[in-house]
């Protein structure tokens, strides 16, 4: 609900701080005092289009702030309009986009009347209202339809893709077979190119490598004396004097380690040297193999890994092409099965919705008669087919729109075609009376709800507003005393001119001032004892209906 609004430098408003409460909040005032400006400001805070012409004359910007509670959380919403056209939206002091603000505010309040925040006028919401009325029965079938529609859509897309690519795939089949044959014949393996590159280096330098390794082996082992001979003699001499000093003994141990390491190295050098062989045939084979692998890598994305990955992919593609007929038959049957199941579930959903719609039609028409729509007929229109075929969606096959006739002999028309804001507001009252327990929007704001009504009809509208205010916070601007009398809280808007400047103020009224204001609404400028008594009686009657 909306608990507070602050309006600064907006139109003819200098500064207004206003608290709202649960229940029915009534706003009255003289014509031209600025009642609609309050609604404009509230609408702005709720996300309506910004218009810099609302900035108070002589000021740089207008600011509207609202405090609202939603699902146990408090939100401070701020809209700033600058004369330079800049528009700032904030939620809890954090700058947000207008779409983010709208997303939150459409869950807080709905403005009804001559403004654009009217969910009842949008056909996209009509299906939701029908489903909400019998939610427990409709929801499981709707979920089933949604699940089947997802499977149906996925299968349909897969089949369409298969058929679209079939001709192209068949043209590519021979080429893909050639590529697969080429890669299979080469039979590369990961790391083979690196191994061959290393082997080629050895082959191309085998003579020099053999000569150097032979010389190293001779110096370390075969020469007389060799390095190992000299180290062996050194070890013998150290051993003879090792007992004279710990340091000398340490020399012996360190040199012993060197001796055995050199022996190991010598053995490895000999093994590697003896393993070297060279032939032009081996060199040519290695170069030829590397050329084959390089050719594959150039064709298939630069590495042996990519070549093998490509081979795996075209193997799967060829398998799919070879089996395309059976895959198509399988998908076609699967699509048909899903379509039949979806149609059956959608028909079941339509049946439940029509039952719900019929009940809503009957109740709405009863409510509208009470609201002085004597010749009005409300109809829920179902359109299930297009060009003789069902159009499936996650919500079923139904396209629903609310239609209404307000005069005898007229054809039903969409609610959005009704010109009178007052009529739309009273129709919304009928809806809220019926489905109020299911509507999660906490605040409803009505402007011009009393257009074209008076007397008993006005009292009925007031009673409806009171009933709905037990489940929703209601903020209602009215000029009819019959409606104002039902208010739990009453605010009066006044306009005054001071020093060639006009100001609008809003004051909450106590019981005594509420009587005087309703007397003014009854009798105009001249308030008499009779109008005072009539106002008291009107308030008394409204209170008796609250019990």
Q: Do 192 and 71 share a structural domain?
A: no
Residue 488 CA: distances (Å) to CA of 22, 157, 341, 505: 9, 58, 53, 20
Higher confidence at residue 280 or residue 393?
Answer: 393
Q: What is the DSSP letter of 418?
A: -
Q: Establish if 318 belongs to a structural domain.
A: yes
Q: Do 169 and 81 share a structural domain?
A: no
Adjacent-strand bridge partners of 15? 8
Q: Establish if 116 belongs to a structural domain.
A: no
H-type alpha helices, 187-225: 192-204, 206-217
pLDDT at 95: 93
Q: How many domains does the chain have?
A: 2
Q: Give 311-354 pLDDT, tens digit per residue.
A: 998 888 888 777 777 888 899 999 999 999 999 999 999 999 99
pLDDT at 115: 42
Residue 288 — pLDDT band, cuts 50, 70, 90? confident
| Helix (H/G/I), strand (E/B), else coil: 382 | strand
CA contacts within 13 A on the Cβ side of 481:
22
Could you check whether the bond before residue 86 is cis, i.e. omega within 30 degrees of 0?
Answer: no
- Cα(259)–Cα(257) distance, integer angstroms: 5
Q: Do 279 and 200 share a structural domain?
A: yes
Residue 117 has pLDDT above 70, yes or no: no
Higher confidence at residue 458 or residue 81?
Answer: 81
Q: Do 175 and 288 share a structural domain?
A: yes
- Cα(352)–Cα(335) distance, integer angstroms: 25
- Do 64 and 89 form a contact (C-beta atoms < 8 A)? no
Q: Which two tokens stand for residue 450?
A: 């009393």
What integer best gives the mean pLDDT of the chain? 85
Q: Do 197 and 103 share a structural domain?
A: no
Instruction: Using the 3D structure, point to which of 322, 338, 369 is the last residue of a domain.
Output: 322
Question: Among the listed ranges 136-140, 272-276, 414-418, which one has the minimum average pLDDT value?
Answer: 414-418
Q: Which residues of 205-215 are buried (b: 16+ CB within 10 A; e: fewer)?
A: ebeebbeebbe
pLDDT at 216: 87
- Do 503 and 12 form a contact (C-beta atoms < 8 A)? yes
Residue 398 CA: distances (Å) to CA of 145, 415, 439: 12, 18, 22
Higher confidence at residue 192 or residue 21?
Answer: 21
Residue 438 has pLDDT above 70, yes or no: no
Closest CA to 348 of 401, 397, 400: 397
Q: Establish if 218 belongs to a structural domain.
A: yes
Q: Which residues of 100-110 are buried (b: 16+ CB within 10 A; e: fewer)?
A: ebbebbeebbb
Give me the domain span that covers residue 519. 1-108+441-547
- Cα(435)–Cα(379) distance, integer angstroms: 16
Q: Do 177 and 271 share a structural domain?
A: yes
Phi, psi of 465 (to 5 degrees): -60, -40
Q: Do 312 and 169 share a structural domain?
A: yes
Residue 386 — pLDDT band, cuts 50, 70, 90? low
Q: Establish if 47 belongs to a structural domain.
A: yes
Burial of residue 97, with CB atoms counted within 10 A of its CB: 0-12 exposed, 13-18 middle, 19 or more buried:
exposed
Adjacent-strand bridge partners of 95? 90
Q: Give 26-64 pLDDT, tens digit per residue.
A: 999 887 777 778 888 888 899 888 888 888 888 889 999
Q: Establish if 513 belongs to a structural domain.
A: yes
**CATH number assigned to the domain comprising residue 539:** 3.40.50.300
Q: Which two tokens stand for residue 83?
A: 């004369």
C-alpha 134: how far from chain center: 27
- Cα(526)–Cα(537) distance, integer angstroms: 18
Q: Give 179-222 pLDDT, tens digit per residue.
A: 888 888 888 888 888 888 888 887 788 778 878 888 888 888 88
Question: Among the listed ranges 77-91, 272-286, 428-442, 467-481, which one has the minimum average pLDDT value?
Answer: 428-442
- Do 67 and 76 form a contact (C-beta atoms < 8 A)? yes
Residue 22 has pLDDT above 90, yes or no: yes
Residue 155 has pLDDT above 90, yes or no: yes
CA contacts within 13 A on the Cβ side of 413:
14
Q: Give 264-278 pLDDT, tens digit per residue.
A: 999 998 888 887 777
**Percent of residues, the chain, with pLDDT higher than 90:** 25
pLDDT at 418: 65
pLDDT at 421: 56
Q: Establish if 253 belongs to a structural domain.
A: yes
Question: Among the listed ranges 84-93, 138-147, 192-201, which one has the minimum average pLDDT value?
Answer: 192-201
Residue 334 CA: distances (Å) to CA of 153, 162, 340, 390, 449: 11, 14, 10, 18, 54
Q: Do 206 and 314 share a structural domain?
A: yes
Q: Do 278 and 182 share a structural domain?
A: yes
Q: Give 487-514 pLDDT, tens digit per residue.
A: 999 999 988 877 777 788 889 999 999 9
Q: Do 178 and 312 share a structural domain?
A: yes
Residue 4 has pLDDT above 90, yes or no: yes
Q: Do 317 and 180 share a structural domain?
A: yes
pLDDT at 229: 87
Q: Are strands 399-405 and 413-414 parallel, antiparallel or unpaired?
A: antiparallel
* Strand intervals (E) in 11-146: 13-19, 24-29, 61-70, 73-82, 87-91, 94-96, 109-112
- Cα(334)–Cα(328) distance, integer angstroms: 10
- Do 183 and 288 form a contact (C-beta atoms < 8 A)? no
Higher confidence at residue 419 or residue 125?
Answer: 125
Instruction: Using the 3D structure, point to which of 283, 304, 322 is the last residue of a domain.
Output: 322
Instruction: Using the 3D structure, point to which of 322, 351, 378 is the last residue of a domain.
Output: 322
Top mean pLDDT of 108-112, 370-374, 433-437 is at 108-112
Residue 399 has pLDDT above 50, yes or no: yes
Task: Kindly give, in sequence order, each residue whose CB lies less than 8 Å from that of residue 364, ignoring residues fewer than 6 positions away.
Answer: 378, 427, 430, 431, 434
Residue 257 — pLDDT band, cuts 50, 70, 90? very high
Residue 182 CA: distances (Å) to CA of 178, 200, 302: 6, 24, 16
């Amino acid at each position: 609900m909306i608990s507070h609004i602050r309006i600064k430098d907006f139109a003819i408003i200098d500064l207004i701080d206003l608290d709202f409460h649960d229940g029915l909040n009534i706003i009255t005032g003289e014509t031209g005092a600025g009642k609609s400006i309050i609604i404009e400001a509230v609408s702005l805070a709720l996300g309506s289009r910004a218009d810099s012409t609302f900035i108070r004359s002589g000021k740089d910007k207008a600011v509207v702030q609202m405090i609202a509670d939603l699902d146990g959380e408090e939100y401070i919403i701020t809209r700033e309009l600058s004369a330079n056209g800049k528009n700032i939206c904030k939620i809890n002091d954090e700058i947000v986009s207008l779409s983010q603000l709208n997303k939150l505010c459409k869950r807080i309040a709905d403005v009804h009347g001559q403004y654009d925040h009217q969910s009842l006028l949008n056909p996209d919401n009509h299906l939701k209202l029908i489903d909400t009325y019998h939610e427990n029965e409709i929801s499981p079938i709707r979920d089933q339809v949604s699940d089947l529609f997802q499977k149906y859509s996925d299968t349909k897309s897969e089949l369409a893709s298969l058929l679209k690519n079939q001709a192209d795939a068949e043209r590519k089949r021979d080429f893909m077979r050639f590529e697969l044959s080429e890669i299979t014949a080469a039979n590369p393996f990961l790391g083979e190119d690196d191994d061959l590159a290393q082997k080629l280096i050895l082959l191309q330098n085998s003579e020099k490598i053999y000569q150097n390794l032979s010389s190293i082996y001779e110096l370390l082992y075969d020469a007389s004396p060799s390095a190992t001979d000299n180290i062996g003699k050194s070890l013998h001499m150290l051993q003879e004097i090792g007992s004279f000093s710990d340091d000398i003994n340490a020399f012996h141990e360190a040199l012993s380690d060197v001796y055995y390491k050199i022996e190991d190295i010598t053995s490895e050098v000999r093994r590697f040297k003896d393993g070297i062989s060279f032939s032009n045939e081996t060199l040519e084979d290695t170069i030829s193999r590397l050329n084959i692998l390089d050719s594959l890598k150039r064709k298939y994305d630069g590495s042996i890994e990519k070549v093998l990955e490509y081979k795996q992919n075209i193997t799967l593609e060829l398998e799919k092409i070879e089996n395309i007929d059976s895959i198509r038959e399988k998908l076609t049957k699967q699509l048909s099965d899903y379509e039949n199941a979806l149609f059956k579930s959608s028909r079941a959903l339509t049946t439940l919705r029509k039952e719900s719609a019929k009940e809503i039609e009957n109740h709405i028409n009863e409510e509208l008669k009470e609201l002085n729509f004597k010749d009005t007929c409300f109809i829920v229109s179902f359109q299930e087919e297009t060009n003789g075929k069902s159009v499936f969606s996650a919500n079923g096959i139904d396209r629903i729109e609310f239609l209404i006739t307000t005069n005898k002999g007229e054809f039903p028309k969409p609610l959005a075609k009704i010109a009178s804001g007052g009529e739309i507001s009273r129709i919304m009252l009928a809806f809220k009376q019926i489905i109020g327990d299911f509507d999660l929007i906490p605040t409803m704001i009505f402007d011009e709800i009393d257009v074209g009504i008076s007397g008993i009809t006005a009292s009925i509208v007031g009673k409806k507003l009171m009933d709905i205010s037990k489940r929703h916070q209601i903020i209602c601007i009215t000029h009819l005393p019959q409606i104002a009398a039902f208010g739990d809280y009453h605010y009066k808007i006044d306009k005054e001119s001071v020093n060639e400047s006009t100001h609008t103020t809003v004051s909450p009224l106590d019981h005594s001032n509420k009587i005087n204001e309703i007397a003014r609404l009854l009798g105009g400028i001249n308030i008499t004892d009779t109008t005072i008594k009539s106002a008291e009686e009107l308030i008394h009657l409204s209170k008796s209906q609250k019990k």
